[in-house]
Amino acid sequence: MPAAGPSPATLNDRFAIPGLLFEAGAGGLTRAVIDTPVAGGEVYLHGAHVAAWRPAGHKPVLWMSTRSQFELGKPIRGGVPICFPWFGAHPVEPSAPAHGLARTHFWNVEAVSRLDDGGVGVELRAAIGRYRLSYGIRFSHELEMTLTIERNLSATPVRFEAALHTYFTVGDVRKIRIEGLEKTGFIDKVDNLQRKGPTGQAITITGETDRVYCGTRQACRLVDPVLGRAISIRKAGSDTTVVWNPWIEKSARMADFGDEEWTGMVCIETANAADHAVDLQPGQVSCMKAVIGVERL
Ligand code: TA6
């Protein structure tokens, strides 16, 4: 299945720089492959989907299902799907795709750059319905992703939800803890959307977990004793954090998710969703950023 948009050769003529090359990736979808002394990575133009990031001296940080599809019109299972302009099921249209349109949309390359620290930056753009979006990704010692909803040119406010739905590789999800949300209440999507108060403790995963933490700008820290590392997730312009692991039964129900893969991943998502959907006033711009870092324990 040919990918949409310009060929890798055309893109390389225009944008290739040392450490960044375009190629046909999985399923023939076009991707930029980043390979520098400070970090490696991949981003597909399909969905502007960051599929890999590997800072120097560390194992790959982002998780990708071995069963993921790489097809036009289908979401990729892993990495960092962009959820926009809604999160989860569409509020009124049950047949609309979960998590919106951005993650299966084709994005164009706007610019690439060599960063002062030896990393590489990529800027992508897309027009989705009435929205104009740009997405800046910096592959370096940290992974920085900035989603910008360009100026609302209409005379009326527009409401949307957005998320960087990041999948992290972990040694064993049953042995991790997630710090930073101890003081934040959440909507529990595995318990009839019950609103629950702060637990006062770090999050541990002991079953299917699907929590929308509302009203938090806190950084999170994913502590992984099996892989001997801690992953930091700092953010700006985001008031919601989502934590998800499908556990056993839900994994078995997902065709693009291996039945046993749930032990090796957890999602910590940087979002504006639920109570914190964005009401973008005329003339306003909205910007949401996630910065991922890794340290050895
Ligand atoms: O962010 C958690 C969640 O909303 C879960 O409910 C689960 O559906 C997950 O996203 C994956 O959604 P997807 O549409 O990619 O299968």
Report whether 19 contacts 114 (CB < 8 A): yes
Residue 117: pLDDT over 80? yes
Ligand 1 centroid to 185 CA: how many Å? 20
Pocket test for ligand 1, best of 82, 210, 211 (most atoms within 8 A of CB): 210
Sign of CA dihedral 94, 97, 101, 105: negative
| DSSP state string for 212-275 | EEES----EEEEETTTTEEEEEEEES--EEEEEE-HHHHHHH-TTS-TTGGGGEEEEEEEE-GG
- Is residue 1 predicted with pLDDT exceeding 50? no
Ligand 1 and 86: CB distance under 6 A: no
- Ligand 1 lined by 25 (C-beta under 6 Å): no
Q: Quickly tell me which residue has 């009435």 as its tokens.
A: 130
Q: Which amino acid is at 235?
A: K
> How much distance in Å is there from the Cα of 70 to the middle of ligand 1?
17
Mean pLDDT of the chain: 97
Tell me what percent of the residues of the chain surpass a pLDDT of 70: 99
Residue 40 in contact with ligand 1 by CB distance below 6 A: no
Inter-residue contact 193 to 89 (CB < 8 Å): no
**Residue with CA nearest ligand 1 atom 2:** 244
Of all residues in the chain, the percent with pLDDT exceeding 90 is 96
Ligand 1 close to Cβ of residue 261 (< 6 A): no
Whether 2 has a pLDDT exceeding 70, the answer reads no
Provide the pLDDT for residue 153: 86
Kindly list the distances between the CA atom of residue 44 and the CA atoms of 32, 77, 107, 124, 268, in Å, as whole numbers in the listed order.
6, 13, 9, 10, 21
pLDDT, tens only, 4-18: 799 999 999 999 999
The reply to whether ligand 1 has any atom less than 6 angstroms from the CB of 210 is yes
Pairing of strands 167-169, 158-160: unpaired
3-class secondary structure, 27? helix
295: number of Cβ within 10 Å: 10
| pLDDT-wise least confident of 77-81, 129-133, 186-190, 263-267 | 129-133
Q: What is the mean pLDDT of residues 242-264?
A: 98
CB 267 within 8 A of CB 129: no
Q: What is the pLDDT of residues 81-103, one digit of tens each?
A: 999 999 999 999 999 999 999 99
Å from CA of 267 to ligand 1 middle:
9
| Token couple for 240 | 């919601």
Q: Cα separation of 74 and 70, whole Å?
A: 7
pLDDT digits over 140-194, tens only?
Answer: 999 999 999 998 888 999 999 999 999 999 999 999 999 999 999 999 999 999 9
CA distance 96 to 68: 20
pLDDT tens per residue, range 5-51 = 999 999 999 999 999 999 999 999 999 999 999 999 999 999 999 99
